Amino acid sequence: MSPEARRVVQARREGGEVAASTENVPVWLRTAAGWSWRFVAVVVAVSLIVYATVHVQLVFVAVFLALVLTSVLKPVTDFYARVMPRPLAVALAFLSAFLVFGGLLTYVVASVAGQWERLADQFTRGIDQIVDWLQHGPLPVDVSWDQINEAIDAGRRWVTDNSGDLASQAVASAGTVAEGFAVIALAIFCTVFFLVSGGSMWQWFLLQVPERHRERWSAAAGAGWYSFSGYARGTVIIAIIDGILAGVFLTVLGIPLAAPLAVLVFIGAFIPLVGAPAAMIVAAVVALAAEGPVQALVVMIGIALIGQIEGHLLQPLIMGKQVSLHPVVIALGVTGGTVLAGILGAVVAVPVLAVAWTVYATLRRGSPVPDDAAPVVQGASDDGEGGEGDEAPPVPVTEGR
């Protein structure tokens, strides 16, 4: 027998032994083992991403905020760009946003200053009513002003005894404020380039991907941006509507500081699940102090109704299927985000989950990208200086065609 024939016989014999050994393992166990190591690999990859994100949290927050600003300002920029150069349109869009929010903040400050004395007097009377009700009401609670003053004195003594720790915390807070300004500056810087030359940036990235994978990357990114921009833009629109409804409702009831409370409701709309209830509690406390328990109850019921309108009418109407997550997934995501990164994690959890699920579904089933999220990777000039690609967002999509 020739050496080559011997090698063939030996290979067949070894293959038979391997096949015989694998036949002793049940099919379900081999399948479970295959899924297990793949699941472990995915968990390790996600854990590494979360670990890296936590250690560069400021950069992550800046990029996230830049993407939110881009999704909100892009329609305005596109509108201005019809009659002027793109860079000038971006500058005018930023100026418009600054004037709108600056005017809103000025109105809130003026409202607080104009009603502060009245609110302080009503708050004092409200506290007197609450203490009187606790003393003579049906509850077995005995509270006197002496006990309240004693508690206030104890608080002052605690502040005096812990003044050193409080001072160190104030210094740390100053550092946090400086980091906050740095994040805002970086976010604005990134937003400018995303709006001016986002298409060219995305085209350059696609050129670094192997050609056979570009179409899948383009489809996945387009679907992800469609979901993210829909969530960001829809959240802003819903928050504005919630703030307007709350402001009108509180004004009709005659609640003081209606404008600042409406702004609080507006801000609370950006924090899923917990933001709106927190704003409702604050508004109810102000109503209780100023107008009594009946008005406070009416305020709680009214803001709860606004929340129902948001959840059952505004979100399906404005966001549609761009963000289709089950409430259980949202609750678990917000809880996990809160554990990992506090309020920041609660804010970013829902859009991150929505984008991750949309990209996964697109890659897994080849889901078609919506018409208003079609990839835009052409149009930039070879030297990267401009062209139509410069007018695209930072990922290959163009909304609102």
| Per-residue tokens: 10 | 């030996």
Q: Which residue has the higher pLDDT, 388 or 33?
A: 33
Rounded to an integer, what distance in angstroms lies between the CA atom of residue 236 and that of residue 71? Answer: 10
Task: Give domain limits for the chain.
Answer: 57-391
Residue 321 exposed, middle or buried by CB count within 10 Å (0-12, 13-18, 19+): exposed
**pLDDT confidence of residue 170:** 52
**pLDDT confidence of residue 162:** 67
Q: Which residue has the higher pLDDT, 159 or 305?
A: 305
DSSP label at residue 84: S
**pLDDT confidence of residue 165:** 62
Q: Mark 166-200 as b/e (b = at least 16 C-beta within 10 Å).
A: eeeeeeeeeeeeeeeeebeebbeebbbebbbbbbb
Q: What mean pLDDT comes out for the span 329-351?
A: 79
List, for residues 193-207, the tens digit of each pLDDT value: 999 988 888 888 888
Q: Which residue has the higher pLDDT, 227 or 323?
A: 227
Residue 222 has pLDDT above 90, yes or no: no
Q: Which residue has the higher pLDDT, 121 or 31?
A: 31
Rounded to an integer, what distance in angstroms lies between the CA atom of residue 224 and that of residue 213? Answer: 17
Give the number of other CB atoms < 10 A from CB of residue 245. 19
Q: Which residue has the higher pLDDT, 22 or 207?
A: 207
**pLDDT confidence of residue 233:** 81
Q: Which residue has the higher pLDDT, 266 or 153?
A: 266
**pLDDT confidence of residue 159:** 63
**pLDDT confidence of residue 190:** 93
List, for residues 90-130, the tens digit of each pLDDT value: 999 999 999 988 887 787 777 767 666 766 666 666 666 66
